Amino acid sequence: YGSTRPERILAEVKRKATRGDARSVVDTIDQYCRHQEWAMNVGDEKGTILDSIVCEVKPMAMLELGTYCGYSAVRIASLLPPNSRLITMEFNPVFAAIARQVIAWAGVEDKVVLIEGPSGDWIPKMKKEFGLTSFDLVFLDHWKDCYLPDTKLMEECGLLRTGSILVADNVICPGAPDYLEYVRGSPRYESKYFRSHLEYTRVEDGIEKSVFLG
């Protein structure tokens, strides 16, 4: 029986990355996915844009939708201020199990809370479950047709405050046209596009940064 791509990525991390060294985990995954087999991590080029926003915002409460193998969770967690938390949500239990091991190998498990299940179930109960008032920063990198409904649900559940920032991957490729139209057209958001490339390729893609104005 063959292994899955996430299992092969985890095996590469355990073989090549230094335990406890988040940067070496990130670099190992980037090397593997650039030279061995492509995978849908935000990647090194768009990852640098994400890093700059995380460092600028210094979020105390951050949410990621779409953990996959944990690449961006590790990347983000390595930049978080002390006492801040990244909550990362994953729908697929197989991917979640891999991501937990990647996050542990990187030594950032104290900064990351991985929750499993559909966003529609979790978003309405996050305030209570985690004693949250709102998220300072949200990274959307899950199913592209869920970006808009989940953003509206976060608004409705009071998880966004004036100044909360949404960062969305793949707004060009594969694309999230309804989300893009919403954040760019709504008076309640101030949106900015960061042009880049689809991870590990020369195809155009980009990240949209949108500030919620309340």
Ligand X SMILES: O=C(NC/C=C/[C@H]1O[C@@H](n2cnc(C(F)(F)F)c2)[C@H](O)[C@@H]1O)c1cc([N+](=O)[O-])cc(O)c1O
> What's the min distance (Å) between Cβ of 29 and ligand X?
13
Four-residue CA torsion sign, 11, 16, 97, 37: negative
Question: For this structure, is 170 an active site residue?
Answer: yes
Q: Is 44 in the site for Mg ion (CB under 5 A)?
A: no
Find the angle CA(2)-CA(65)-CA(124) to the nearest 5 degrees: 125
Question: For this structure, is 14 an active site residue?
Answer: no
Quote the CA–CA distance of 50 and 42 in Å, as a whole number: 9
The one catalytic residue among 30, 150, 169, 205: 169
Q: Which is nearer to ligand X, 21 or 173 (CB)?
A: 173
Q: How big is the chain by its Cα radius of gyration, in Å?
A: 16
Quote the CA–CA distance of 44 and 75 in Å, as a whole number: 10
12, 169, 205, 208: which one binds Mg ion (CB under 5 A): 169
141, 150, 205, 208: which one binds Mg ion (CB under 5 A): 141
> Per residue in 91-125, is it b (16+ CB within 10 Å) or e — as a string?
beeebbebbbbbbebbbbeebbebbbeebeebbee
> What's the min distance (Å) between Cβ of 137 and Mg ion?
16
Q: Which residues bind ligand X (CB under 6 A)?
A: 40, 65-66, 68, 89-92, 95, 118-119, 141-143, 146, 169-170, 173-174, 198-199
> What's the min distance (Å) between Cβ of 157 and ligand X?
14
The contact set with Mg ion (CB under 5 A) reads 141, 169-170
Active site residues: 141, 144, 169-170, 199
